[in-house]
Amino acid sequence: MVGCGEVRPGGPDEQENVSLTVTSTLERKTTERPEQSTHRSGAVKISSFLIALPLYLLCLLSTVILPMVGCSMLEQHSLDPKNTCLKVKRFLTGGENPDVLVFGSSLMSSACVFADAEVRGRTWPTAPRPRVIFFYNYDKCHSLETGLKNKGWPASTSFSNMSYPGLMISEQYRLFQSILQSGKTPRFVILSVAPRDFYSNDVAADTTQRPVFALLSGPWSVDELNKKSSFDVSMRRLADVSKDEIRTYRDMWTDQVLFADSVLKDSFQAPSAMLRKWLNGEVVPRLLDVFDAEEIGNELGDLDYYKIRYQPANEKMFAQESQYLQRFIALAKQNHVSVILVDMPITMKNWSLIPPAMQAKYRDNLVQAATATGVSLVTPDKSKYSLADFIDSVHLNARGGQKLFDEICSRIGTAYGASGN
C-alpha cells in the first residue's frame, strides 16, 4: 500500500548543499547549548518508555496472565501460522473428555468460527483484503452443538472441535488414534472431508513429514506423555507451549496493527474516496467482517492455487488417503465410536478444477466407505449454496456455515438415540 507521502530527491548539488546546511546547523546548536541535546534525548527516552509501557503491559496481560487463569478473550480466535498444532497439544494434555469430536480441515474450521460468531453475537477480527485469517486453535462448535441439542441430543453432551487447517485424512486418522490412546473416550465422531483432503500437489507424499505426524511422533507422542515426566522434561514441554502461545498472540496483534495501519493510510491518502466508499457502504464490511462474502462479493481469488493442488491428479496419494479413511472408520468401530461422515460443500468453480475421473473417484469412495462400514454419510444439497455462502472457493462464511450445520442436524438428529446410548 502506498504511503501518505513520498520523497522527491533533488540533484547531487542540491543534496550536498542540504547536507552541509544541516550539518553546520547541528554543529552550531551543539556548540551553543551542549546540554540541550542531552535533555532532549532524555525526554525522548522517557516519552518512549511511557508509551511503550502500557502496550507492553497489555501484551503481557493478553498473552500470559489471562490465558493462565482461563479468562483470555483473545484465545478463542488465536492464529497458528507456523503449524505448531497448539490446539492438539492443549487437548492431549488437558482433562477434557468430550462425547463428540469434530474432525476436518480448514473448511470445517471456518464454518465453525463464523457460524459461532453469529450465534454468540460477535464479530471476529478482520484483515485487509485479500488476506484471509484462519483460526487454527478454535476448539468450539457452538452452532452445531446447539442445533443437535435442539434436535433432542442430551443437554449434557459435550463437544470439541479438532478440525485443523491443512489436515489430510491420514493426519486426521493419526490425531484420532492418539486421542484414543491418551484415554479419551468419545461416543461420536463427525468426520468432515473434501477433495483436497485426499490429494494435493503441495503436500509431502511421505505422511511422516506432515505436521501432525511429526508432532505426535516426537516429544508430544502418547508414549512420551504417558511417561512419568521428570522436572526437566516438564519444563521443556512448558517452555514449548509457552513459546507457541506467545508466537500466536504476537502474530495476531501484528495482523491487527497492520489492518489498522492500512485503514489509517487509506483515510489520510484519499479522504474523499474513503468518504465516498463509506457512503456507498463499501467500507463497513471491510471494517466489520471481511469474510462476509454476501456483503463484499466473493472474488474466488484462490482458484489458481487450487488448480495447482488438483492438477495433475495425484492418484497415488488419493489411494493412500482413501486407505486412511477406511482405517479411521475401522479404528472407530473397534473403540465403539459412531462415525458420521460429512461431504463438505465447495463451490462449483472449485469442483470444476478437479479432473472428471477424480470427481467420480471421490464420490464413489465416500459412498463405498459408508456402505461397506454402515456409517452415516451426510452429503449437503449443493444447489442450496451460492457464492454468497463462501469467503472464497471452498471456505464457508457465517451464513454458509449455519446452512451446513442445519443440514447436518436435520440428518443426524436421531443418531444419539439410534446408537443405543
Residue 11 φ/ψ, nearest 5 degrees: -75, 175
Mean pLDDT by 10 residues, the chain (421 residues): 40 44 40 49 62 63 48 40 68 89 94 78 40 64 94 94 93 94 94 97 89 81 71 68 61 52 53 53 38 53 92 96 97 96 96 96 96 92 89 89 94 74 53
Q: Do 164 and 51 have their domain in common?
A: no
What pLDDT sits at residue 223? 78
Q: Do 390 and 258 have their domain in common?
A: yes
Position 22 in a domain? no
Q: Do 227 and 100 have their domain in common?
A: yes
The total domain count for the chain is 2
- C-alpha span between 213 and 102 (Å, rounded): 19
Position 198 in a domain? yes
Q: Do 60 and 79 have their domain in common?
A: no
Position 3 in a domain? no
* Residue numbers of the domain that contains 326: 75-416
Q: Do 49 and 155 have their domain in common?
A: no
Q: Do 102 and 222 have their domain in common?
A: yes
Q: Do 213 and 306 have their domain in common?
A: yes
β partners of residue 396: 390
Q: Do 86 and 100 have their domain in common?
A: yes
Q: Do 89 and 207 have their domain in common?
A: yes
Q: Do 58 and 203 have their domain in common?
A: no
What pLDDT sits at residue 14? 45
What pLDDT sits at residue 285? 35
Coil vs helix vs strand at 166? coil
What pLDDT sits at residue 100? 97
For residues 150 and 301, the answer to whether their CB atoms sit within 8 Å is: no
Q: How crowded is residue 141: how many other Cβ atoms within 10 Å of its Cβ?
A: 28
What pLDDT sits at residue 184? 94
Domain boundary among 16, 45, 73: 73
Domain boundary among 13, 47, 73: 73
Position 11 in a domain? no
What pLDDT sits at residue 93? 78
In sequence order, which residues have a C-beta less than 8 Å from that of residue 134 and are 6 or more positions away?
Answer: 79, 106, 109, 110, 165
Q: Do 69 and 118 have their domain in common?
A: no
Domain boundary among 52, 73, 94: 73
Position 6 in a domain? no
Q: Do 61 and 83 have their domain in common?
A: no
Q: How crowded is residue 16: how many other Cβ atoms within 10 Å of its Cβ?
A: 11
CB neighbour class for 198 (10 Å; exposed up to 12, middle 13-18, buried from 19) = buried
What pLDDT sits at residue 249? 56
What pLDDT sits at residue 212? 87
What pLDDT sits at residue 8? 40
Evaluated on CA atoms 342, 346, 351, 354, the torsion sign reads negative
Sequence letter at residue 157: T
The predicted model scores a pTM of: 0.69
CB neighbour class for 57 (10 Å; exposed up to 12, middle 13-18, buried from 19) = exposed
- C-alpha span between 305 and 371 (Å, rounded): 33
E strand residue ranges, 104-181: 159-161
What pLDDT sits at residue 224? 77
CATH code assigned at 276: 3.40.50.1110
Cell of 196: 483436497
For residues 174 and 165, the answer to whether their CB atoms sit within 8 Å is: no
